[in-house]
Structure 1
């Protein structure tokens, strides 16, 4: 039986996190060798390969791929992977979305993995509209991939908490982007389309979050939101062996979320 360990983490700047201890005595560039994931997906990298040191972009044992935004110091996603993917795609939606560097698709024999940094809709009505259009375009894309017979996993910062137990203060945030009904309805559509919120297979509890506001020191009080996910095609349901949230790992306002898969 082959076991694969996947991590997804919004690092809020790969250059910023690279200078921090993410576990006691463990700087970011040693994180991979300590945790030993088969695949690590990063979001909000805010960098391109030219601005990264070799200590970050050339970690022994891993292939590294990054999709930066056109705008400097903004958005972006990256993947570290022990196994070279069969193919890679950077972007793949409309140009207005792709210029923000929000998706890398990596195809492996067992599944097709999309690492995604979904837009935040909180800045303005325009950005909320952009976020909802991105949501719809992305769902269309993954359904088209599934229709070709591929088994889709997508992970990343979805920027929406699905249910009241996914944030510490649901009532106070009903009119806040990230917990608007229209955003939560999209996650319902994803699940209705056959994708599993892997974490909820293993935990039905609240008080388990992946993002905490820096300004209010919310992490110390665990006043957080669960907005980072691994969604897995129902075709892979029997291959999911564990999913979790690594709130012990610091260095960002988000912590990693994890997925373990088993294949014969």
Structure 2
């Protein structure tokens, strides 16, 4: 089984860069998308393409047009789809979507960024505190869970191109990194690091100063799997050659 997580930074923009030709070639079974920035009603041609590729599709857009939003595409029809998390402000921003299958559940997550200023950083911390409790309760019900998406956090110094100059940057703040460590310690596996301990693997690059060509990036997109899923994990690859966004996809292969 192949599961892709991809912040597409606008599904309409990505579709103009042969995103769907690329997706067909990957032959992915399930796809978690973030920052879709569209309502399904706005993209009938894209919906038709998704269905032609054999995917069931589920969307949880933000109330604000052209902003945020998550989706899950799956060739296997879920038993249940949970739209949102019940926290009003988070659900208005379209940040959490979950699909339940026979033997595991898959969540598409888009954590807030704090890079636009102090107010959004405060909301990011609020989200992090909420998410800890929310996932803790969810795991009692669903022990086999994969939370895939854009966490907007670099966990360690090898996950960012210049840790010293970014020490005070949102996404690499000590409080954020500590939260990620505690989240993992509480029973999740960073599936990429499970297979690959090397530096210089990134999933997002600034559009400024040719950052992508120089590989001056951040690893902020993850497949985090609960520990009961460990025996099913087979491989994880970051796919930097997919250029439909300022992010790139992460591919998880599992039994």
Alignment match of 2:41 (pick from 50, 73, 78): 50
Counterpart for residue 91 of structure 1: 84
1:122 aligns with 2:119: no
Counterpart for residue 135 of structure 1: 128
The RMSD of aligned alpha carbons is: 1.1
Task: Detail structure 1 runs of 4+ shifted over 6 Å in the superposition.
Answer: none
Q: Do the aligned residues in 1 keep the contact of 2:3 with 2:251 (CA within 8 Å)?
A: yes
Q: Do the aligned residues in 1 keep the contact of 2:32 with 2:107 (CA within 8 Å)?
A: no
Count of residue pairs the alignment pairs up: 253
Unaligned runs of 5+ in 1: 21-26
1:12-27 map, 5 Å:
12-20=9-17, 27=18
Seen in structure 2, the aligned counterparts of structure 1 residues 55 and 70 have a Cα distance that, compared at 3 Å, is closer
Whole-angstrom distance in 2 between the partners of 1:66 and 1:146: 23
- Normalised by the length of structure 2, the TM-score is 0.96
Unaligned runs of 5+ in 2: none
DSSP 3-state at the match of 2:99: strand
Alignment match of 2:6 (pick from 1, 6, 9): 9
Counterpart for residue 36 of structure 1: 27
Alignment match of 1:195 (pick from 167, 188, 194): 188
- Note the C-alpha offset of 1:110: 1.6
DSSP 3-state at the match of 2:147: strand
1:213 aligns with 2:210: no
Q: Do the aligned residues in 1 keep the contact of 2:105 with 2:142 (CA within 8 Å)?
A: no
DSSP 3-state at the match of 1:113: strand
- Normalised by the length of structure 1, the TM-score is 0.93
Q: Do the aligned residues in 2 keep the contact of 1:242 with 1:261 (CA within 8 Å)?
A: yes
